[in-house]
Homo-oligomer: A and B are copies of this chain.
Amino acid sequence: MIRFNNDYHRSAHPAILQALADTAGDSFPGYGVDPWCEKAADEIKKHLDCPDAAVHFLMGGTQVNMTAIAAALRPYQSAVSAVTGHIHAHETGAVEHTGHKIVTLSSPDGKLTAEQAARVGEAYRTSPIREHITQPKLIYISFPTEYGTLYSLRELTELRAACDRYDMYLFVDGARMGYGLAAGDVTLADMARLADMFTIGGTKCGALFGEALVITNAALKPDFRSYIKQNGGMLAKGWLLGLQFYTLFKDGLYFDICRQAVELALQLKAAFAARGIPSYLDSPTNQQFVILTHEQMEALEGKYTFEPDHDVDEDRMCVRFCTSWATTPQEVRALMSDIEKL
């Protein structure tokens, strides 16, 4: 079985397992104050052009999202997200569990526009009943989105401007950051300049687990480790996180493996297009959502895994094909050849 169902079905890139093996005999201080976390933060900061950035390592995506948002907001403030945003759609109300409303905005492609953000800010600013509604204080976007789409540098810059105008934070969920960096015109330094906080996902980009959180806004830095601990996100053997991110960032492995995964995904995208199979949305990243007939699905199911997303009509379904560091060119060629035969 060749797997395209998601980007987290295998343990970790061999370099990470090797690093684990290499440090098996060593002892370290606990809770993330160890040399590996420090070195990993240093490696990441080389890309940020922001020497004062704070870098923390947490275990998972829901965890880092809820921790960062709970730390940033006052009780009466809310996060703003596309209806498709992960914090709204797939995290079991974790943000609300910490006490905050998520204001949702419709979106045809999983992205929020600067105009939408500004409209929310303006509505609050001019509301005659401000104390009866929550203050939209944090714009949450995912980069890439849950549907693989991507913000351009210009779009991000405009979002930043809207946030500045209305005194809102910009928080970027980068669970698949590596694929976004590989596919668009945005760099980590742009992220550090434009976002108040953003994550760099490990779990879906080659690590066993782990998400880096970068905080550039000075107001959000104090005592952040207390929030991590309070939300159950402080790993006792924290160096396991540092070691993984150091391994991914020291020689650019993170960028390389994500770039290759995107290239392979774009080959699949071209193959679907050549065969006349429509995309659900135009994704430049490692997730490709295409619309297959049930017949086409059956033709592929014996040999490949892929993930059903939603029914389009009685005959057709939108499904996801996903590449990752673990996807090989051979696997993609095999699928391309079978797509051609559909």
List A residues at the B interface (Cβ < 8 Å). 1, 3, 6, 8-12, 14, 17, 20-21, 23-31, 59-64, 66-67, 70-71, 74-76, 78, 89-94, 96-102, 104, 129-135, 203-204, 208-209, 223, 225-237, 240, 326
Q: Which residues of B contact A101 (CB under 8 A)?
A: 93, 96, 102
Interface pairs (17), CB distance under 8 Å: A3-B27, A8-B237, A11-B24, A61-B236, A75-B93, A76-B229, A76-B230, A90-B129, A91-B132, A93-B99, A94-B229, A94-B230, A98-B99, A99-B99, A130-B225, A131-B225, A132-B229
Q: Which residues of B contact A66 (CB under 8 A)?
A: 232
Nearest CB in chain B: distance from A115 CB, A: 18
In the complex, the 4 A-B pairs of residues with the closest C-beta atoms, listed nearest first: A63-B232, A76-B226, A93-B101, A131-B225
Q: Closest chain B residue to A86 by CB distance?
A: B132
B3 with A235: CB separation less than 8 A: no
C-alpha gap A3/B25 in the complex (Å): 12
Q: Which residues of B contact A209 (CB under 8 A)?
A: 235-237, 240
- Residue in B28, B131, B233 whose CB lies within 8 Å of A226: B131
Q: Which residues of B contact A97 (CB under 8 A)?
A: 75, 98-100, 230-231
Nearest CB in chain B: distance from A13 CB, A: 9
Looking at A1, A78, A233, the one whose CB has the most chain B CB atoms below 10 A away is A233
A90 with B10: CB separation less than 8 A: no
A227 with B9: CB separation less than 8 A: no
C-alpha gap A98/B98 in the complex (Å): 8
C-alpha gap A62/B102 in the complex (Å): 19
Looking at A9, A12, A29, A129, the one whose CB has the most chain B CB atoms below 10 A away is A9
B9 with A27: CB separation less than 8 A: yes
Q: Closest chain B residue to A207 by CB distance?
A: B237
Nearest CB in chain B: distance from A166 CB, A: 15
Nearest CB in chain B: distance from A106 CB, A: 10
